[in-house]
Chains A and B, each alone.
Chain A
Amino acid sequence: MLHRFSIHGLRGSARSGPSAIDETAVDALRQHAHATGRTPELGASAPIVVTGLVKNFGTTRALDGLDLRVETGEVHGFLGPNGAGKTTTIRILLGLLRADAGSATLLGGDPWRDAVELHRRIAYVPGEVSLWPNLSGGEIIDLLGRLRGDYDRKRRDELLERFELDPKKSARTYSKGNRQKVALVAALASDAELLILDEPTSGLDPLMEAVFQDCIREVKAQGRTVLLSSHILAEVEALCDRLSIIRLGRTVQSGTLQEMRHLTRTSIKAELRSPADGLDKLPGVHGLAIRDSQVRFDVDSDHLDFVMRRLAELGVAGLECHPPTLEELFLVHYGEELAKEQGQASATSGGPR
């Protein structure tokens, strides 16, 4: 209940202006970039630079001014609910779809015009892996590798072993996870400087997920760049340096996980020695729930030290405090749809009680 409450409380600020958050995020990003010595200016050097991307399918607007920036050498998480526009964005980056407005730059080139040239430098794992049913897995991996050009047969065999994939089976007989392994092995066997992975592990078992994470860490260690669209938050949390959350074809938030946490709230549960008077009046405190001497609330990160000082004055007998999990971040941004639905439901049932 409280959990739900806190999300609702959080939504207020998220709704009051995603743009405000974005600006703060960009600022934070700049500071972070300065600190780490990475290119701070938004130049053309980043492998993926997407600004204001718009794509319509008939009357449906799939992308509505989407921004995305992936820096060299990072693993960038690309998150969003189903139908948010992740795959559409990726297909535009691959030059399969043409954007209606906005700009997309892939490795310094135009993904539509320079598709062939750019594809020498990227490897791609589609979200829905569809293979030629009468070819064997090994044949397909070889074929895709040779079509790309740089192809390391030895690394292929090594990957086949690590992913425990039988290359002799015909693609018709592969399960979803095995089809994904075929595409993964083909992509990972290349020397591509940019890997574009569209929910590559949705069919893998936990053991294979671990193998996948190892492989991505190796890719990262080689200084290569990865765009990882995923629904598996633990995977994003484990692998990604930065992430972008999109919804309804727009970027709602982008930055490091650290920054995103900073921009949101910390949950606090405390056992107080004196009555929690006036806590709800404090700036930055949301969703306060009091039960006897126990209080729970969320606090904006900016006001954390102020609130902690006030708590200390009240006398703290016990304290639990945790930053928002990625799941919570996720729900904040996805939750709006949920709220809309609920709003409609209550409106039809005769307004709020």
Chain B
Amino acid sequence: MNAESLAGTVALIRLIVRRSRLWILIWVGSITLLAYLTAVGVESIFPDQASIDQAAAASQNNAAAIAFNGPAQGLDTLGGEVAFQVGAMGMVVVALMSAFTIGRLTRGEEEAGRLELVRSLPVGVHAPTVAALLTVAVMNGLVAALVSAALIASGLPATGSLVMGVSFAAVGLFFAAAALVAAQITENTRVVYGAGVALVVLAYVLRAVGDVGDGSLSWFSPIGIAQKARPYADERWWPLLPLLLAAAALIVIASRLAVRRDHGAGLVAPRPGPIGAAPGLGRPLGLAIRLQRGTLIGWAAAVLVVGVAYGWIAPTIDSFVANNPTVAQLMANAGTGTLTDTYFATSFRVMALIAAGFAIQSTLRLRGEESALRAEPVLATPVSRPRWAASHLAIALGGSVALLAVAGLAAGLSYAIAGGPWNSVPRLLAAAIVYAPAMWLMVGLALIVFGFAPRWVDGAWALLAGFFVIGLLGVILRLPDWVEQLSPFDHIPALPAASLDALPLAVLTAVSAVLVLGGLFGLRRRDIG
């Protein structure tokens, strides 16, 4: 890499900032806010050392909590509690931010054909990539600075706050570099996003299994490694070093791959496709299946891995309760079923929230097709708008249920194989599928925006992010009841810990149906394009 190959980098960074300032602001801002609000929330929940100690005792060996949050480190301090609550989740968000930004700025621009125009200018071979990488590095730098500052401002010790902020950024840089490698291999931006999500899910799950076990598996997860920096609990900086080294190595690999491929192409040469369409590819539904097949399979794989991991961990929780009479007593008094049941209820809420990403992505495929002018040729044939929309909706609604079924079966089977009872397979399947109405509601919400205000469809993602915060941090953040009630996922009976209540399911389904019909009505009335 010489100076020539970097010509124009600064101008390109300016262009990126100009085009993506809102994107940058929203990601960095919401991560900072997440950390700050969690810190403030934890501080208000635990007013004195006694309450902290009590919480620490409950979480210390609690495999369920550890599986979701990470290793129990310094839980007898406020900072340790904050890191426990928001550490893993924050890192997941930073990782997604970095991978998505890289995908969008590199392969996304290339696939859209805009990079071709840029490359025709006196711009170096590596300049667009380096500009994207520097932008993401700055975003992560901002995250490190702002998260540290926010935590310190909330009253937490400076060193721990700094370690926390920097470990977020280290995770972000790793996933940025990984996404950059993926962007060289495939010519499809969607696949880069998918690879990013898959790697993040894998990192989260490896860490969960590792942390619940002897911790060695966590060293294979970037998130697990970052947590070894132990913010607020005898901080140490060195675990962040391998993360940054790995990121550097990935960047070198990406640059080697980049010069070996053609502009616009991936590393894998495209194979010739079929000479004609298969019989199924002649109806709108056939086309929708063909277009969304890959997406659905990707999400199913992600949900499968998470489900298997959560099921696999569960027997540890049984033994934790068996060895801990105080906790057993506590659970019995609370009357919320066994700890394992509560654990599974939480697991499925998390998995449903993850799978809701598919529900939204799948529904918004309609908007993607419209913006890319690919809806036009279909709608110029005797296919009505509702029929066209219904083809993608069928995948969104049906695929959501399929993903929940995969999650339930995966968790149930792996739990049974790991030593749990076999009758948990149908129980857990039901506990997963019960979230279907909440998923449908997400489809309905996305569709109503698509029908009436198509420019604002990305708001559906913001809504899901909000429901994530409500679902995972609602208690910590001390959100008012009415805010928690906004999330459809909080209305779903928490099987298997709670009992089945059909009313909220029926109401959610009915609301979803109204939203879907409303969205179709809006679509019929508005301009396409």
Contacts and interface: CB of A to CB of B under 8 A. Distances in A.
Interface of A: 91, 94-98, 115-117, 119-120, 122, 124, 126, 128, 130-144, 146-149, 153, 167-170, 172-173, 183, 186
A117 B383 CA distance: 9
Contact of A142 (B276, B372, B381): B276
B213 interface: no
Given A132-B291, A143-B286, 12 more contacts: A98-B526, A115-B384, A119-B381, A132-B374, A136-B274, A137-B273, A138-B277, A143-B281, A143-B282, A143-B287, A144-B381, A169-B273
A138 B274 contact: yes
Contacts of A144: 377-378, 381
Contacts of A153: 276
A122 B382 CA distance: 9
Nearest to A57: B527
B116 interface: no
Contacts, number: 116
Contacts of A133: 111, 188
Contacts of A115: 379, 384
B1 interface: no
Given A124-B377, A126-B376, A97 B528 contact: yes
B529 interface: yes
A138 B277 CA distance: 7
B273 A170 contact: yes
Chain B interface, >50% SS class: loop
Contacts of B272: 136, 168-170
Contacts of B282: 142-143, 146-147
B373 A116 contact: no
Contacts of B275: 136, 138, 167-168
B373 to A, nearest CB: 4
A96 B527 contact: yes
A91 B529 contact: yes
B527 A98 contact: yes
A184 to B, nearest CB: 12
Contacts of B381: 119, 144, 147-149
B383 A138 contact: no
A142 B283 CA distance: 11
B43 interface: no
A170 B266 CA distance: 14
Interface string B279-318: 0011110110011000000000000000000000000000
A132 B287 CA distance: 10
Q: Which 5 A/B pairs are nearest by Cβ-Cβ distance? A: A136-B273, A146-B282, A142-B277, A147-B381, A168-B272
Contacts of A169: 270, 272-273
B380 A124 contact: yes
Contacts of A139: 273-274, 276-278, 281
Interface string B175-191: 00000000000011000
A148 B278 CA distance: 16
A148 B376 contact: no
B290 A135 contact: yes
Given A91-B529, A143-B277, A149 B187 contact: no
B382 A130 contact: no
A242 B273 CA distance: 41
Interface residues of B, number: 36
A149 B380 contact: no
A213 B291 CA distance: 34
B527 to A, nearest CB: 5
Interface in B375-417: 376-384
Residue among A126, A169, A172 with most chain B CB within 10 A: A172
Given A94-B380, A130-B372, A147-B282, A168 B529 contact: no
Contacts of B111: 133
A115 B373 CA distance: 18
Contacts of B380: 94, 96, 119, 122, 124, 126
Given A115-B384, A116-B383, A167-B276, A147 B284 contact: yes
A91 B528 CA distance: 9
Nearest to B376: A126
Contacts of B528: 91, 96-97
Contacts of A148: 381-382
Contact of B374 (A95, A130, A136): A130
A129 B432 CA distance: 43
A135 B526 CA distance: 29
A130 B379 CA distance: 13
Nearest to B386: A116
Contact of B270 (A124, A131, A172): A172
11 contacts: A96-B376, A98-B525, A126-B380, A128-B373, A135-B273, A136-B274, A142-B276, A142-B281, A144-B378, A147-B282, A167-B276
A235 to B, nearest CB: 22
Nearest to B284: A147
Contacts of A135: 273, 290
Nearest to B275: A138
Interface string B300-344: 000000000000000000000000000000000000000000000
Contacts of B384: 115-116
Nearest to A94: B380
A352 B208 CA distance: 80
Nearest to A121: B382
A186 B381 CA distance: 11
A43 to B, nearest CB: 26
B26 to A, nearest CB: 25
Contacts of B188: 133-134
Interface string B407-436: 000000000000000000000000000000
A147 B372 CA distance: 19
A96 B525 CA distance: 10
Contacts of A131: 374
A149 B373 contact: no
A183 B374 CA distance: 12
Given A96-B527, A170-B270, A119 B277 contact: no
Contacts of A168: 272-275
Interface string B513-529: 00000000000011111
B382 A117 contact: yes
Contact of B276 (A130, A134, A138, A147): A138
Contacts of B277: 138-140, 142-143, 146
B377 A97 contact: no
Contacts of B527: 96-98
A121 B377 CA distance: 14
A61 to B, nearest CB: 15
A171 to B, nearest CB: 9
Contacts of B274: 136, 138-139, 168
A110 to B, nearest CB: 14
A139 B273 CA distance: 8
A158 to B, nearest CB: 14
A96 B380 CA distance: 8
Contacts of A141: 276
Nearest to A93: B380
